[in-house]
Amino acid sequence: MKNFESPNILNTDALLTEEELMIRNSVREFVSHEIMPHIADHYEKGYFPTELIPKLAELGTLGATIQGYGCAGVNYTSYGLIMQELERGDSGIRSFVSVQGALCMHPIDAFGTEEHKKKYLPKMASGELIGCFGLTEPDYGSNPGGMITRARKDGDSYILNGSKMWITNGGMAGVAIVWAKDDAGDIRGFIVDRDLPGFTVRNIEKKFSLKASVTSELIFEDCRVPASQMLNVKGLKGPFSCLNNARFGISWGVLGAAMACYDEALNYALTRIQFDKPIASFQLIQAKLANMVTEITKGQLLALQVGRLKDKGEAQPVHISMAKMNNVAKALEIARVARDILGASGITYEYQTGRHMLNLESVNTYEGTEDIHRLIIGHHITGIQAFR
């Protein structure tokens, strides 16, 4: 079977090293053989394919940028390419890997003790232990600083009370990174084992987006967590530094979904006959395809520049916001236009575009909505905070 080929009109592949291309191509092949044949069915049934977890681990995708502890230790650009390839399969698979690595393994690696790292990271890298990240609450989404979940000190423990909403991987996680305010009102992070009394999970069913992904509510009722499980970071910069990595991965990931939609629309347009001609021969269809491939190419360059800055330790939150905001919005636009080119066929599971389009609605909202990232950029360029 011929493998997927991504648009390379500007020879953007030449900007990647041999190792980066090799990593990209091996994940690409994995997606073609292991994800594509079944994903539409999984999506329709609302099933996350847990059977893929050991294979994703073997490929080195879990906590890929972490050095040691059984992790691959690749650079950020390679990490981005991994995300791009996985999201060509489905945003739900990329979400699983993002949350496991950027949102759960990263804070343990960055803010945990050596004991935490040895206890959790190898099992998370091998996929034996799944993590979730609880920041958002029912009444505090874009404004997580307002969170009401509390961690009250009691002897050698903290007592957690509150709930976290829309939590990816929640229902299958063995450990949760939970953010709560302590007695002083400071935001602190805790590594919370799933089997602690007072910690319950409720899955959110009946979604029309990210159906091949588990989304849950985490509920804490007098859940006693040993103080030794607290991470060594205080304030919103703790969760936000995890989001920096996850948002970066998303800015690459969505290019994969966009490439899949573009490829499908192009192939459909070349073979679909109307008015005695392939619809690809009409100027309006060509204009749509030309815009799609141009936006994908611009998105590649944007994500790559942020990747290179991250690899040099020079990436700022505003760079990541620009890439997340632009690339998700453009991928969503591309998916919607591809759906239009597919006509009625575009609403069926026989084609992947509709699935990507619905997934991208979530991706545009989570990890900071499109407008929140616009406001982060606005703050950077004007010096004026417009959130409040």
Rule CB under 6 A: is residue 144 a binding residue for ligand TGC? yes
List interacting residues with ligand FAD (CB under 6 A): 99, 133-136, 141-142, 166-168, 210, 215, 362, 365-367, 369, 371-372, 375, 387
Hey, which residues are catalytic here? 367
CA distances from 62 to 53, 91, 211, 308, 334 (A): 9, 16, 21, 21, 28
CB contact set of 208 (below 8 Å; sequence gap of 6+):
358
169: tokens are: 């991987």
SS3 19: helix
The count of other CB atoms within 10 Å of the CB of residue 195 is 8
What are the φ/ψ torsions at residue 139 (nearest 5 degrees)?
A: -105, 5
d(CA 228, CA 236): 20
CA distances from 97 to 61, 185, 236, 287, 374 (A): 7, 31, 23, 35, 26
Comparison of 136 and 288: residue with beta carbon closer to ligand TGC: 136
Letters for 317-346 (x = contact with ligand TGC by CB under 6 A, - = none) are x-----------------------------
Rule CB under 6 A: is residue 98 a binding residue for ligand TGC? yes
Question: Which residue shows structure tokens 């650009």?
Answer: 77
75 contacts which partner out of ligand TGC, ligand FAD, none, CB within 5 to 8 A by kind?
Answer: none
Comparison of 349 and 387: residue with beta carbon closer to ligand FAD: 387
Region of 73-81, 263-271, 345-353, 368-376 interacting with ligand TGC (CB under 6 A)? 368-376
| Minimum distance of ligand FAD from residue 193's CB (angstroms) | 18
Question: Side chain identity at 342, as an amino acid letter?
Answer: L
CB contact set of 58 (below 8 Å; sequence gap of 6+):
none
Comparison of 82 and 363: residue with beta carbon closer to ligand FAD: 363
Which of 66, 99, 121, 192 contacts ligand TGC by CB under 6 A?
99
Rule CB under 6 A: is residue 372 a binding residue for ligand TGC? yes
174: tokens are: 């063995």
244 contacts which partner out of ligand TGC, ligand FAD, none, CB within 5 to 8 A by kind?
Answer: ligand TGC
Name residues contacting ligand TGC, limited to 243-272 (CB under 6 A). Answer: 243-244, 246
| Minimum distance of ligand FAD from residue 237's CB (angstroms) | 16
Question: Which residue shows structure tokens 């804490």?
Answer: 220
Site of interaction with ligand TGC (CB under 6 A): 95, 98-99, 133, 135-136, 142-145, 168, 235-237, 240-241, 243-244, 246, 317, 366-368, 372, 376, 387
